[in-house]
Structure 1
């Protein structure tokens, strides 16, 4: 039996396969593929994306992809196509990955980040008076907080905004090289790195400059942190504006978890098979693009009751293992997981009571998954 495959658009040249749908409506394409796979009693389906590709969504598949570094390789995956992410620890494969990651972990630990909490709180501006687009506000707020966390607020803000802006634009904007901007970012990083050689700061750059390849890891991890945290914050603000009963610090952790379940910024992860793999009787050849979809897993009715409904109360119980992966898993768990949770928690705690006015919260997949927007809210 061959693996299921979503039907091809009859009005598209066959040589293009699923590429037009992948570019225009990838979530619908994923839902169609998952539906075909479930109907066949499988957890895997194929896509025609110009090269052999399979998509899995079960906890078993997630675990295999994220804990099998010898089989599932990062080099040659989707990340390699994006200049912002094609470098650093993100695309370092085994056996070098474990050593490089172990050197970076201490600076991004919960204990290390706790020391910058007061600085982040001081950097938070009062929520604006009058109608405010939560998506645009989150974009600016997260950029300023990341500037504080990474650089003690010393990175040129206009340059930082220019560097990060393409990440939130539709494809192909995130894929395009921007040599002038990247050169300016390297110069700014070098300036700030040299300053920390003579005097440390309470920031991440002080820890990063002590490691080989620090400039690349700083640039890549900063880019990976911005869009993901921005979209999660925008969705959380929108949720609280609709549910003022949830606007208490005690309930914020469940709100954040539920936002990241319904709208995982990293809606799709990718690896490349480094060798042939037999998956429940199906042979997947080396070189195949192996995708895992947190979006599908997080909305799988076999794993979640009423999966498309926002229900923070579901977090009174732990989810099944490998069914909740907003930060990935295994040794490649997102380096910035504790930083993202810190930024989200502190920002939500500082919010006044809000009410929702009007907005479009439909998930819009790009490099990350975020609301189509705008999301208009105001002080209650």
Structure 2
């Protein structure tokens, strides 16, 4: 069988002079939705993007599984994370075979048993709920900042510095990718100060676990940056959905409601790898160095996999989802390190929340480094 060139793949209409770069920067969701539509019409699950280098986006369970399990072929070095200083380091950019060993070192600190020990501290950091109508997006931003400070640093990290450090991640590109050497130096000094105290006095927060590990402070900085906006946006969307669908605002209803929120609006809406060696996928030859993308957003809304894919229906989670179609935390060996932390914090916040009523809001997804609502999302506690 003769392989086709990558150029034979379907693609959205490019713009003269810049291919898909302008649409990728300004309107990436319509761009990838059109690419997926054309790929399905051609009987495939892969489409091409012109981003200045060979790039493909796949959305089927088979593509997701291959990309997330064939670690020697699909590597993180050279992916999008490398161009964002906040994420360019630690476990995120560690590839096989070193990844498995490093992950084994980190897993205990982010596992359920250790997080349970932090619960009293994070519960104490809960900021309370305003009596008047409030923007769930802005409130979640501040709440998650407090909760992560409690989990990582027992609330001891300078709050103003922590806010300043994480704020650029909420801005559109290229803001998160700009170098900030002075800010990073200040954060590094604060991390070392707090880590030295843990090494001398002990402790049970996440920094106390990470500080003795080689490269532990880098892991603390990178995982903290990866956790904040993803958790904030998932929490904000969950609060909005529960305000619109109060029948799900129960302890039993929170789990399926959060899963449905993450299916519709996965904060990590696009993941990237680079091909270390050529791959033939369904008759198409993908050359070494190709940027290989997978999209939890597209997979979670694929009409071939989900009934009424755009509807908020938590009841669908009474059945198991299609394998490798629901990937808000990635999958395989590279499953998000902070998955249990994010889910624990969100579920604990939802358990604290009184009944809510949606007042007004704009939940339109706005893709940046993470996928969040355009906002505001004004809700009122009852």
CA distance in 1: counterparts of 2:186 and 2:194, whole angstroms:
12
Q: 1:337-368 CA deviation, whole Å, 9 max, x = no partner? A: 00001000000000011111111000000000
CA distance in 2, matches of 1:215, 1:137: 28
Total equivalences in the alignment: 376
1:7 maps to 13
Correspondence for 1:59: 61
Contact 1:152 1:201 in 2 (8 A): no
* Alpha-carbon distance between aligned partners in 2 of 1:180 and 1:378, rounded to the nearest angstrom: 40
Question: What are the equivalent positions in structure 2 for 1:276-355 lying under 5 Å apart?
Answer: 276-355=278-357
Q: Deviations over 1:267-322 (max 9, x none)?
A: 00000000000111110000000000110000001111100000000000010110
Cα distance in 2 between the residues matched to 1:64 and 1:100 = 22
Local SS of the residue matching 1:210? coil
Matched with 1:269 is: 271
Cα separation, 2, equivalents of 1:245 and 1:307: 20
**Separation in 2, partners of 1:126, 1:232:** 18
Q: How far apart in 2 are the matches of 1:27 and 1:288?
A: 21
TM superposition score normalised by structure 2? 0.97
Partner SS for 2:302: coil
Aligned to 1:126: 128
Per the alignment, residue 160 of structure 1 pairs with: 162
Match of 1:236 in 2: 238
TM-score, L = length of structure 1: 0.98
Partner of 2:176: 174
Question: How big is the shift at 1:376?
Answer: 0.7
- The Cα shift of 1:168 comes to 0.7
Instruction: String of CA shifts for 1:142-179, please: whole Å, max 9, x gaps.
Output: 01000000011110000000000011111111011111
Partner SS for 1:302: coil
CA distance in 2: counterparts of 1:285 and 1:172, whole angstroms = 28
Asked if 2 retains the 8 angstrom alpha-carbon contact of 1:255 and 1:312, the reply is: yes
Note the residue ranges of structure 2 that are not aligned, 5 or more in a row. Answer: none
- Tell me which of 349, 358, 365 is aligned to 1:356: 358
Task: Provide the residue aligned with 1:34 in structure 2.
Answer: 36
Runs of 4+ in 1 over 2 A off after TM superposition: none
Runs of 5+ in structure 1 lacking a partner? none
User: 1: distance between equivalents of 2:316 and 2:94?
Assistant: 36
1:86 to 69, 85, 88: 88
Partner deviation per Cα, 1:117-144 (whole Å, 9 max, x = no partner): 1111111122011110100000000010
Residue 194 of structure 1 aligns with which residue? Answer: 196
CA distance in 2, matches of 1:218, 1:205: 7
Superposed, 1:202-281 pairs within 5 Å as 202-281=204-283
CA offset at residue 232 of structure 1?
0.3
Partner Cα separation in structure 1 for residue 282 and residue 131 of structure 2: 57
The 5 Å alignment of 1:137-152 reads: 137-152=139-154
After alignment, is 39-48 or 115-124 more displaced? 115-124
2:117 is aligned to 115
- Does the aligned pair in 2 maintain the 1:85–1:223 contact within 8 Å? yes
CA distance in 1, matches of 2:331, 2:154: 29
Is the counterpart of residue 45 in structure 1 residue 51 in structure 2?
Answer: no
In the alignment, which residue of structure 2 is the partner of 1:74? 76
Report the Cα offset of residue 202 of structure 1.
Answer: 2.3
